Structure 1
Amino acid sequence: MTSRPEWLSRAVEPAYTLVLALVIVGPLLGPGYLLLRDAVSTPRSFLTDSALGLSDAAARAVPQDAAIAVLSAVVDGGLAVKTILVAALWAAGWGAARMVAALFPARGTFPRPSVGVGGRLLAATVTMWNPYVAERLLQGHWSLLTGYAALPWVVIATTRTRRGKPRGWPVLATALAAAGLTPTGAVLASLLALVLLVVPAGPVRVFGSSDYQKRAQGVRRVGIGAALAVVASAPWLVATAVSGAGAEGDTAGVAAFAARAEPWLATTGSLAGLGGIWNADAVPGSRTTPWALIATAILLAVVALGLPAVWRARRSPVVVALAVLAAAAVVVPTLAATGWGLAVGEWAVVHLPGYGLMRDAQKWVALAVPFYALSAAAGVSVLASLARRVFADDPAPTRASRAGAAVVAIGAVLLSLPDLAWGVGGALRPVHYPEAWQRVTALVEGGAGDVAVLPAGTFRRFPWSGDAPVLDPAPRWLPLDVPQTGRLIVLFGGGSTIAGEGDRSAEIERLLIGGGEPGDLTNLGVGWVLVEHDTPGTPGDGELLSALDRVHDDENLTLYRVPGTPTEYAPGTAARVAVVSAHLAWAALLAGGVLGCVAGRGRARRADQP
């Protein structure tokens, strides 16, 4: 039988994962903008102080907001967000396939399992088609998925560097910078990279080197990896340091954001099945029924098939480290949801600066996915052998039996979560903003002061935005800063209010609701007041609003200009320079990593030529 050309096998992986990514995002491929819970995209956003993290609210969306502001000056902001989302899903699946090829090559030697294209496609499917991806899409965490997508590439990069291949460093720089689009992504990828770089070399040998040289090389690897991780995290680290926001969080957020048990599954089972997000409304319909138990059993069975083969490869320090991380990624969030775990979290959110950014415990289960993908890929040969034993009385798997086993396993994973397809059952669909948003943007552009927004609250529910609550789009739409308290109202589980960090924003809100004079607003740096109609929330004081100059009014928005010259609330020059420098360093890391990958790929191709 003629062997399949290697280039054809390599082309199947990106093609398959791209198709799967497009099937997932489905409706978003049409015109319109992503606006769902925490996800906000607009035609244009601006490089405001808030976008840079220079506000009194926690730096939760840096450098994401700054990056989209820069991109939207060139291309439509909605298109930029969609492109990044599709690229993230694609990179996650393709990276999982390449990770398997790096650790378990098709012509591997015992005791490492040999995994062909079918196993690699199964690894990609497990990585892309699971409750974690579905729930993060429904929660609007599109930028977190860039960090999720970086994880298999981090494994690839660290594996290369451990083998003494310099080409691993540009890949690691690119992966860490891409993950650094959001603070959580930066922490996820950096933690994985440092663990894989720190673990002892084990059977890896450096020809002709002494033990001292090996240790020195290991220390150098860890040092370079740590430096790259710091640069990837620099935007949010520096913004948090200079603004002081997030130094102390609300303890109510710890219980509200704890991992959640799904039907017929305890918290451990939900997390092991890559589900259990805190928001019960941000889950696919199939995960709200007893099917969640069946789906979790299918996923874990696919993963468990490869455990014997992975166990035989335990001499690989990378494989062992991934297994330990996978166990910890399930066990630690489970413990964090217990009574004493919540108590520890409440202490940490008060005493550890920035810990409030980490309170969503379920998101850390992403660290289990690389091992899940690796084990599932190794299980294809096991499943093929079982099938041959049953149907042909011959345990030796053939190419055909492996292909059949891969198809069956991939089909089982896809069927375990049928409503991930086409925008998570149609929930992920584009919206169209009323024309009023463009008019208001033009009116305030170039104006003085910040824009205060009513009704009070961070989330909205417009008639044109769908049934789910959405983050107020005003901070991304408007060219001036929009002070926000960061306060979150959790509607389920008895309901709770989680305090934000914005002290000046809270004072502005109290003034707009309780009443006062226009001069009080200008003293707080407010030059405009925007009222958004047809959305729930506490309205403003009518007497105060009547004292302002109305410059726009329609069924969607009313804009007021505050008389007088607003007090300027601008960060100091040193703070601005520090934050901008951190953003530029992150951008340079991303650009340099990409250029390094391209250059390294070109050198490798030239070296392969006769």
Structure 2
Amino acid sequence: MPAAYSLVLALIVVGPLLGRGYLLLRDAVSTPRSYLTDSALGLGDAAPRAVPQDALIAMLSPVVDGGVIVKAILVGAIWLAGWGAAVLVREMLGVSLGPQLVAATVGIWNPYVAERLLQGHWSLITGYAALPWIAVGSNRLRVGPRSWTDWGMLAGWLAAAGLTPTGSLLAGCVALLLASRRTVLGTAVLWIATSAPWLAATVLSGAGAEPSDPAGVAAFAARAEPWLGTLGSLAGLGGIWNGTAVPDSRTTPFALFGTVLLLALVATGIRAVSSRLPSDYTAATRTRRILLGLAVIAVLLPALGATGWGLSAGEFLVSKAPGAGLLRDTQKYVALAMPAYVLCAAAGCRVLAGWFASIRDRDDVARDRVARTGGVAALFIVLTVISLPDLAWGVGGALRPVHYPASWGRVATAVDAPGDVAVLPGGMFRKFRYSGSAPVLDPAPRMLPDDVLQTGELPVHGAVVAGEGVRATRVEQLLLHGGSAGELGRLGVGWVLVERDTPGPVGDSKTTLEQLDSIYSDAHLQLYRVPGPITEHAASSGARRAAGAAHLLWAGLLCAGTIVSLWGSRRRIRSRSRTRSQSRSPE
């Protein structure tokens, strides 16, 4: 029942997206087909932020449409977030069906999911979904015999979370904090192995190991929502840096009402979660307390990071420590509060049911509490949905499929020779007529079979956060200043794509384009070939083999962990069925 219920909620959330078309919203870009370029392996000029997700889709999209793959992963992630929350509270609290459904609702129906959907962070939601499952697996390894099925479950979920580097960090934090002294080494080895694609890419490309622009710390700091302040916004699982990537209800004083509702439900169960239950193992109590403490830290640290001295500390860190740019979007890490929130909401449901039963003059308070738990659970579910009413149906219709012009497929076919692709207008974000009013990442890097140069520069709040793409920046400046075709060739550029139906800077690029050979042109796109010799700037074969091996290791752990988890779940279901059958049979 929790699995079916969570699937229904997931379909309600992403419903409009399930029609024909592709997800293209802010940072989310799905395309019919993508390619295993150097950038997809994390070996490009910019930091490997989309590793291994890009390589996974590049490997699967020749068989299954890339848009279908992304939609399936997104629906699966939201579904598994709710189902995992239900499994977590069942194992950690021993609650009945009603509180499990409350946990599933809180795990899915909250501002964090809404805001990350609107920002286009579909792969981050996969890491978010893995957190309750990782907590379950870590607890099983702590309290029982360390079976290969439990290790396999942990490996599979760490790999699933590792679809993006931030998801991997979230998962590793939960797994390592919950590991016992006897399991911490094995957990660390699994986490490093499942992080192999982005770790290898960082070492091999060097882009991710460079210090980041300090301006990104303030630009991506957590944001206060109406009447809440930064701390209140984060406690309500909101506060994303982008004020345009929030549900409409979070832009009005209703945000205060919704946050109070959510926190009130959570508050009812804090004491029960932190206390030792009569049937508890000591390890189970410790696990719940660790998750509670982690939730407090996950809210407080991003709030502190948005203060003056917190911003100063963050700027110092990212400018001095290679790879620290992963930490600049601090609101991402509020996801770590989710396991504790669902535990508290489920426990509070049972606590209130017991309280209502105790105030009546009944002989059998326990039986009355069980009878009332379903009603309290229904109330909790309704209040959770009311706290964020516009999450339904694609976050108020913002999630909807788009349809690319046929020009993209023709251009992808026309790019039939080596050489990187430069794109005009300048910048990484676009506003197409067919994609809606929100800016979207340029789909060219995932549409074309050759590497598309990207500067990594991000426009935020009217300013620009510098990226890592040094060669891409040189190429863009060369085009905007009307440089020579020969210089483009020396920089490794074999093609120039002009996207005609989006605004953006083009500078004096007409001077450069006149020196190139026009290959394809229509109302949407124009493709040019750079004449003359093209200097090779591709990653070495050794780097590609090493990055490929890291991706294969990750994929192997994901597949093996999934199979082992399914096998272990089947055994557990059979064991519970036998136990119930034996308890019902007469002695």
Q: TM class by shorter-chain length?
A: over 0.9
The Cα of 1:393 is off from its aligned counterpart by 8.1
CA contact (8 A) 1:100 1:377 kept: yes
* CA offset digits 1:189-211 (Å, max 9, x no partner): 0110000004xxxxxxxxxxxxx
Which amino acid letter does the alignment assign opposite residue 290 of structure 1? P
**Residues 156, 558 of structure 2: 8 Å contact kept:** yes
CA separation in 2, counterparts of 1:388 and 1:476?
58
Mark the CA change 1:74 to 1:383 in structure 2 (over 3 Å): closer, same or farther.
Answer: same
Aligned to 1:470: 440
Match of 1:178 among 160, 163, 166: 160
Is 1:197 the counterpart of 2:167 in the alignment?
Answer: no
Alignment match, 2:115? 135
CA contact (8 A) 1:13 1:94 kept: yes
Matched with 1:355 is 324
Could you tell me which amino acid in structure 1 is paired with residue 188 of structure 2? A
* C-alpha RMSD over aligned residues: 1.6
Could you tell me which amino acid in structure 1 is paired with residue 517 of structure 2? D
Are residues 1:369 and 2:332 paired? no
| 2:483 corresponds to which of 516, 525, 533 | 516
| Pair 553,391 (structure 1): closer, same or farther in 2 beyond 3 Å | farther
Verify: 1:533 aligned to 2:465, yes or no: no
What residue is the counterpart of 2:67 in the other structure? 78
DSSP-derived class of the 2:39 partner: helix
What one-letter code is carried by the residue in structure 2 that aligns with 1:334? A
Report the Cα distance in structure 2 between the residues aligned to 1:604 and 1:260, rounded to whole angstroms: 44
More deviation, 276-285/561-570: 561-570
Aligned mates of 2:571, 2:384 — CA distance in 1: 38
Amino acid at match of 1:197: A
The alpha carbon displacement at 1:553 in A equals 1.1
Is 1:338 the counterpart of 2:307? The answer is yes
Determine if the alignment matches structure 1 residue 403 to structure 2 residue 374: yes
- Work out whether 1:270 is the aligned partner of 2:270: no
Q: Give, as a single letter, the amino acid of the residue that structure 2 aligns with 1:287.
A: R
Between 1:352-361 and 1:424-433, the stretch displaced more is 352-361
Query: Are 2:103 and 2:346, in contact at CA under 8 Å, matched by a contact in 1?
Result: yes
For structure 2, list consecutive stretches of 5 or more residues without a partner in the other structure.
583-587
AA partner of residue 125 (structure 1):
T
Alpha-carbon separation, structure 1, partners of 2:445 and 2:487:
22
User: C-alpha distance in 2, partners of 1:409/1:391?
Assistant: 21
Moved more, 90-99 or 163-172: 163-172
Asked if the contact 1:458–1:472 (Cα under 8 Å) also holds between the matched residues in 2, the reply is yes
**SS at 1:51 equivalent:** coil
Q: 2:8 aligns with which of 19, 26, 49?
A: 19
Query: Which residue does the alignment assign to 1:578?
Result: 546
Measure, in 2, the Cα distance between the counterparts of 1:546 and 1:573.
35
- For the pair 1:33 / 2:22, whether they are aligned, the reply is yes
| Equivalent residues of 2:274, 2:292 under 8 A apart | no
Aligned with 1:290 (options 225, 242, 253): 253
Say whether the 8 Å CA contact 1:159–1:168 is kept in structure 2: no
Which residue pairs with 1:461 in the alignment?
431
Q: Does residue 415 in structure 1 map to residue 415 in structure 2? A: no
Q: Give 2:585's aligned residue.
A: none
Aligned residues: 566
The corresponding residue for 1:595 is 563
Distance apart, 1:20 and its partner CA: 0.1
- Greater shift, 559-568 or 29-38, is seen at 559-568
Cα deviation digits, residues 536-582 of structure 1 (max 9, x gap): 21015111111111111111101111111311102223322221111
2:196 matched to which residue of 1? 234
Q: Is 1:120 matched up with 2:120?
A: no
Deviation at 1:383, TM superposition (A): 2.1
| Residues 293, 602 of structure 1: alpha-carbon distance in 2 compared, 3 angstrom cutoff | closer
Q: List gaps (5 residues or longer) in structure 1.
A: 1-11, 106-114, 199-217
* 2:306 is aligned with 1:306: no
1:326 matched to 2:282: no
Q: 1:474 and 1:157 mapped to 2: Cα distance? A: 40
Residue 433 of structure 1 is matched in structure 2 by 404
Structure 2 CA distance for partners of 1:313 and 1:79, relative to 1, 3 Å: same
Pick which of 13-22 and 535-544 moved more: 535-544
Deviates more, 1:558-567 or 1:479-488: 558-567
More deviation, 593-602/559-568: 593-602
User: 1:210 maps to what in 2?
Assistant: none
Shift of 1:385: 3.3
CA distance, structure 2, for counterparts of residue 463 and residue 172 of structure 1: 44
Q: Tell me what 2:170 maps to.
A: 188
Per-residue deviation, residues 113-164 of structure 1 (Å, max 9, x unmatched): xx11100100010010000000000000000000000000001100111122
The residue matched to 2:383 in structure 1 has which SS? helix
* SS of equivalent residue, structure 1 residue 456: coil
Q: How far has the Cα of 1:604 moved from its partner?
A: 5.0
Q: Is the 8 A contact 2:13 2:392 kept in 1?
A: yes
Change (3 A) 1:310 1:510: same
Between 57-66 and 534-543, the greater mean CA deviation after superposition? 534-543
Deviation at 1:82, TM superposition (A): 0.1
Match of 2:515 in 1: 547
Counterpart selection for 1:168 from 122, 147, 150? 150
Deviation at 1:602, TM superposition (A): 4.9
Q: Classify the secondary structure of the residue corresponding to 1:120.
A: helix
Q: Is residue 154 of structure 1 aligned with residue 134 of structure 2? A: yes
What is the Cα deviation at residue 309 of structure 1?
A: 1.4
Cα pair 1:156 1:168 within 8 Å, conserved: no
Question: 1 CA distance for matches of 2:184 and 2:70?
Answer: 33
Question: 1:39, 1:604 → 2: CA distance?
Answer: 37
Shift of 1:61: 0.2
Q: Take 2:27 and 2:359, find their aligned partners in 1: how far apart are those partners?
A: 50
User: What does the per-residue CA deviation read over 1:307-365, in whole Å, with 9 as the maximum and x for residues that have no partner?
Assistant: 22123228511011101100000011011111111111111111111111221000100
Distance 1:602 1:533, change over 3 A: same
Distance 2:14 2:504 in 1: 31
Asked if structure 2 preserves the Cα contact closer than 8 Å seen for 1:313 and 1:319, the reply is: no
Taking the aligned partners of 1:384 and 1:601, their CA distance within structure 2 comes to: 30
User: Within 2, Cα distance between the matches of 1:306 and 1:558?
Assistant: 60
Q: Kindly tell me: are residues 488 and 305 of structure 1, through their superposed partners in 2, closer, same or farther at Cα, counting changes over 3 Å?
A: same
1:439 and 1:427 mapped to 2: Cα distance? 29
* Native 8 Å contact 2:458 2:466 kept in 1: yes
With normalisation by structure 1, the TM-score equals: 0.90
Quote how far apart the aligned CAs of 1:389 are: 5.7
- The residue type paired with residue 438 of structure 1 is G
